[in-house]
Amino acid sequence: MEVIIQPTPEEASRLAARLIAGIIGAKPDAVLGLATGRTPVMLYAELVRLHQREGLDFSRVTTFNLDEYVGLSPDHPASYHAFMHEHFFRHINIDPGRIHIPDGMASDIPSFCATYEEDIRAEGGIDVQILGIGTDGHVGFNEPSSSLASRTRIKTLTARTRSDNAPDFGGADKVPHHVITAGIGTIMDSRMCILLAFGENKADAINRSVEGPVTAMMPASVLQMHPVAKAFLDGTAASKLSRANYYKWVYDHKPEWQRF
């Protein structure tokens, strides 16, 4: 895994946005895998800025979101549909027909999930998957003990994740128990993974995911097995990494052709 440590979340987000903009520039019909949560908000804001100020064109881009709460309609303010429209889609020139977000209201969830996987395949797979990380190491909503080969399916949230996400709902007891999430196998099939993590409360999960053993008990650790995974961290999220100085040196001395 490539570990890129920046002084602030803003700088890390700007850098990740530049990488994604470069991918869209090289492949205007790129397929993006998108994440929600507080972490990628600055990344989306920067991509919006690049669209508005520098003409970054999303008209041929296709997106697949990682996850959604079961039982929330798209207009529920805590739904990931609402989040994505608020922070990203309504500010860019994306074709609404190219936006895919798991349907939390699907009546037949297994069949919906199988179709979601087929739709990703039909678009040629995900070029770049954006990821946040839960304090318990989850990616998407793949909680600890998720199969490392899992595909899109229903999952049950842990008490810790429901408590972490309580502010979006006004109380942990109001957070749904069930979600639909792309699987770890789905994520691993993408051609590049960009993991973002900021703040001290992510330092432990980052340490275990980057430098610990690969284990289903720390789902993000599977990214060690991904051929092109890049972790964009701020100083506090990176504060428990034993090799932080090495990662910084590597990044600062990248050959010119590897820079973005």
User: Which stretches of the chain bind ligand GLP, using CB under 6 A?
Assistant: 35-39, 66-67, 132-134, 140-141, 161, 165
CB of 239 to ligand GLP, least distance (A): 16
Closer residue to ligand GLP in complex, CB, 62/129? 129
**Dist. CA 102–CA 188, nearest whole Å:** 18
Neighbours of 190 (CB within 10 A): 24
Burial pattern 121-148, b for ≥16 Cβ within 10 A else e, equals eebeebbbbbbbbbebbbbbbbbbebeb
What letter represents residue 116's amino acid?
Y
CB of 246 to ligand GLP, least distance (A): 26
The closest residue (CB) to ligand GLP is 132
CB of 113 to ligand GLP, least distance (A): 16
**Dist. CA 92–CA 49, nearest whole Å:** 9
Q: Is 152 exposed, middle or buried (0-12, 13-18, 19+ CB in 10 A)?
A: buried
Q: Which one of the listed residues 103, 136, 189, 234 is annotated catalytic?
A: 136
Q: Which one of the listed residues 51, 87, 138, 226 is annotated catalytic?
A: 138
85 is catalytic: no
67 is catalytic: yes
234 is catalytic: no
Contacts of 41 (CB under 8 A, 6+ apart): 87
CB of 32 to ligand GLP, least distance (A): 14
Closer residue to ligand GLP in complex, CB, 14/202? 202
Q: Which one of the listed residues 117, 143, 164, 234 is annotated catalytic?
A: 143
138 is catalytic: yes
Closer residue to ligand GLP in complex, CB, 94/182? 182
CB of 51 to ligand GLP, least distance (A): 22
CA 200, distance to chain mean position in Å, is 19
Structure tokens at 68: 């959604």
Hey, which residues are catalytic here? Answer: 67, 136, 138, 143
